[in-house]
Amino acid sequence: MALTKSSVIEVLKGVIYFAKGDNIVDLGMLDELTVSEDTIKFRLVFPKLGEPSVNIVTNSATKALREAFGETVKIEITPIAEKEKGRGPLAGVKHIIAVASGKGGVGKSTVAANLAIALSRSGSKVGLVDADIYGPSVPIMFGTEKEQPGVFEKEGKPVIVPIEKFGIKLLSIGYFVDTDKPLIWRGPMATSALNQLLSDADWGVLDFLVIDLPPGTGDIQLTLAQSYSVNGAIIVTTPQKVAFADVIRAANMFKQEKLTIPLLGLIENMAYFTPSDMPEKKYMIFGKGHGEEFAKKLDIPLLGQIPIDEKIASSGDSGNPIALDENSLIAQAFDKVAAALKAKFN
């Protein structure tokens, strides 16, 4: 095969980046390709460096080119990150924060939504991705069930425009499917949906992109860790000791060598009950000190303790997250979490 630019491109179309399920040429990862009589030189643009797939894809490209053009050809491949290139849908996002839990029912989505509100109220530009593919709740909690994201074409590909509400950019799989029907998806379908929400959307410039993960450990968490530059994860738990086994599993997932997402801290949801007419009272319904104990065992900070409030469910159901009410105890608790989180990145 003659060594030309077009023939090199054709060979590289056979190299697959499995994290996104397509070849490196069609994914736009090939950059600054130069071809001379005996040298092939180019850069490969990855969502982030340091992941195992960087070496795998680079080695696969080298092998394919040597098989096509011979062992004497000099091949120079330089991996770079999308942010270094100044491109990519998340190039303008300063910090990506994942909100996770060991199991469902601990208020993870409520925490993610109200944390996004608190960060926005503090002056930050914020986006929220509802990556809880099997139980999307952001459309209801923000009162946007009847809205649909816009779409425009860029470089021949459709780009999703997030919905904006309360100054926050929102995307959820719930905007694209019938939420009354169960999603029976295998892992690749779920990860493809996540990639669309993150990579096929115009997020613009953001200080924080909060990602509400599905509960537990699975394909979504793995894809997020391996394919995107996540700055840290927050674990949400309730005070009961019986929940701690699930918390440990969720926390340990992020400590795996292949994931390398730092744990920013723990949020204890439903930590105590304070009646709205007696704000000075704290009733430790599930016991006292469990949040501190959990955080200590995990060797991470306790970022905040969120009280139980009878208004939190009604506010979420009405599409007005309770953190919008700056006078509420819950809003004040989330303000403290937002401040602690921002302090970590200043």
Output the pLDDT for position 257.
65
> What single string gives the DSSP state of each residue in 229-265?
---EEEEEE-S-GGGHHHHHHHHHHHTSTTT---EEE
Q: Is the pLDDT of residue 161 over 90?
A: yes
Across the strands, what pairs with 151? 160
Q: Is the pLDDT of residue 133 over 90?
A: no
Where residue 229 falls among pLDDT bands split at 50, 70, 90? confident
Output the pLDDT for position 103.
78
Output the pLDDT for position 217.
67
Q: Residue 93: enclosing H or E segment and its boundaries?
A: strand 93-101
Output the pLDDT for position 253.
80
Tokens at 208, concatenated: 């924080």
Q: What is the pLDDT of residues 162-200, one digit of tens each?
A: 999 999 999 998 888 766 665 555 556 777 788 888 888
Average pLDDT over residues 216-236: 81
Domain boundaries for CATH 3.40.50.300 within the chain: 93-345
Output the pLDDT for position 120.
96
Average pLDDT over residues 142-171: 89
> What single string gives the DSSP state of each residue in 313-345?
HHHHHTT--GGG-TTSHHHHHHHHHHHHHHHHH
Average pLDDT over residues 237-241: 84
d(CA 142, CA 165): 7
Per-residue b or e along 263-275, where b marks 16 or more CB atoms closer than 10 Å to that residue's CB: bbbbbbbbbbebe
158 alpha-carbon distance from chain centroid: 21
Cross-sheet strand order for the sheet of 74-81: 30-35, 39-46, 74-81
* CATH no. of 5-83: 3.30.300.130
Q: Is the pLDDT of residue 45 over 80?
A: yes
Where residue 24 falls among pLDDT bands split at 50, 70, 90? very high
- Percent of the residues in the chain that have a pLDDT greater than 70, as a whole number: 93
d(CA 71, CA 69): 7
Higher pLDDT, 181 or 134: 134
Which of the listed ranges 18-32, 212-226, 274-288 does the model predict with the highest average pLDDT? 18-32
Output the pLDDT for position 247.
82
Tokens at 12, concatenated: 């590289």
Look at 41-50, 123-132, 312-321 and tell me which has the smallest mean pLDDT.
Answer: 312-321
Q: Is the pLDDT of residue 8 over 70?
A: yes
Taking alpha carbons only, the member of 92, 97, 62, 91 closest to residue 77 is: 62
Tokens at 193, concatenated: 């949906």
Output the pLDDT for position 157.
77
> Model's pTM, two decimal places?
0.74
- 157-161 and 150-154 strand pairing: antiparallel
d(CA 66, CA 273): 67
Output the pLDDT for position 85.
67
* CATH no. of 93-345: 3.40.50.300
Burial class from Cβ neighbours inside 10 Å (0-12, 13-18, 19+) for residue 71 reads: exposed
DSSP code for 173: G
State the average pLDDT for the chain: 85
Output the pLDDT for position 12.
96
